[in-house]
Structure 1
Amino acid sequence: MRTINRIILHCTATPRGRHVTVSDIDRWHKARGSSGIGYHYVIYLDGSIHEGRPLERIGAHCQGYNATSIGIAYVGGLESDGKTPADTRTDAQKTALRNLIGMLQERFPDVTIHGHREFAAKACPCFDVLGL
């Protein structure tokens, strides 16, 4: 297993309430030249957690940090207009994210939690990760 020292949180940059699947994201990432979905986990609107890229594989979600991080994305991140960044997480997504992070912290006790915006000029994940 590779060394993991960060969990980096993302949003899918899709409008509030729009259902997006792992297959959709996989298709988008392939269209941009990736070998497939870059996130290790995706949290759907209903709070269900879906595996994207296996943890054993290096992610493709945060340039310069992929080799030693886990990428988690929640579906959403934009207001209904499709342009304005917003914390669109449902209560179910918030609970699922906390639970997933807790599980990963048990497995990788030294990980730190970050928002994508700490490493890129983006609003992503559109909420303050310190206030999980």
Structure 2
Amino acid sequence: MRKITLIIIHCSATPEGRNLDFEACRHEHVHHRRFKDIGYHFYITRDGDIHRGRPIEQIGAHCKNHNAHSIGICYEGGLDADGVPMDTRTMEQKGSLLALLRELRVLFPGTLIVGHHDLNPLKARPCFDAAKEYGSL
């Protein structure tokens, strides 16, 4: 098993009122970005369903220079209807994300939970302060 030091939270940058389900995200990553699979390890749709992407044992493709030692989680959404970055997580997504993070912290104690923008300030995503919200888990 590879050493995991970070759990990185992303959003799909999908505007409110539009869907990007798990298979559509996987299709985008494989056919447009030319990844071998979806870049994330987990993808949480607006209904709160947690979809497994790449196995945790495999390196993801979600955060340049940090993939080798991280787990990537993405939630569907992150933009308002006009395409402006906004925390659009549903209550179902918030509950699922919290449960998933708690489980991962048991499996990988001592990992830091951060947002993509904490590692790349040019990114607005995941459109909320993940380190602040989940840092005490």
Q: TM-score range by the shorter chain?
A: over 0.9
Alignment of 1:1-132 (within 5 A): 1-30=1-30, 31-81=32-82, 83-120=83-120, 121-129=122-130, 130-132=132-134
Aligned counterparts of 1:54 and 1:9: Cα–Cα separation in 2: 16
* C-alpha distance after superposition, 1:94-115 (max 9, x if no partner): 1111100000000001110000
Over the residues paired in the alignment, what is the CA RMSD in angstroms?
Answer: 1.0
Q: How many angstroms does 1:131 deviate by?
A: 2.1
Which one-letter code corresponds to 1:131 in the other structure? E
Unaligned runs of at least 5 residues, structure 2: none
Deviates more, 1:9-18 or 1:64-73: 9-18
Aligned counterparts of 1:9 and 1:109: Cα–Cα separation in 2: 17
What TM-score results when the alignment is normalised by the length of structure 1?
0.95
Which one-letter code corresponds to 2:13 in the other structure? A
Which aligned segments of 4 or more residues in structure 1 are displaced greater than 4 angstroms?
Answer: none
Note if contact 1:40-1:51 (Cα within 8 Å) is conserved in structure 2: yes
Q: How many corresponding residue pairs?
A: 131
What TM-score results when the alignment is normalised by the length of structure 2?
0.92
Report the identity percentage. Answer: 49
Which one-letter code corresponds to 1:42 in the other structure? Y
Deviates more, 1:15-24 or 1:51-60: 15-24
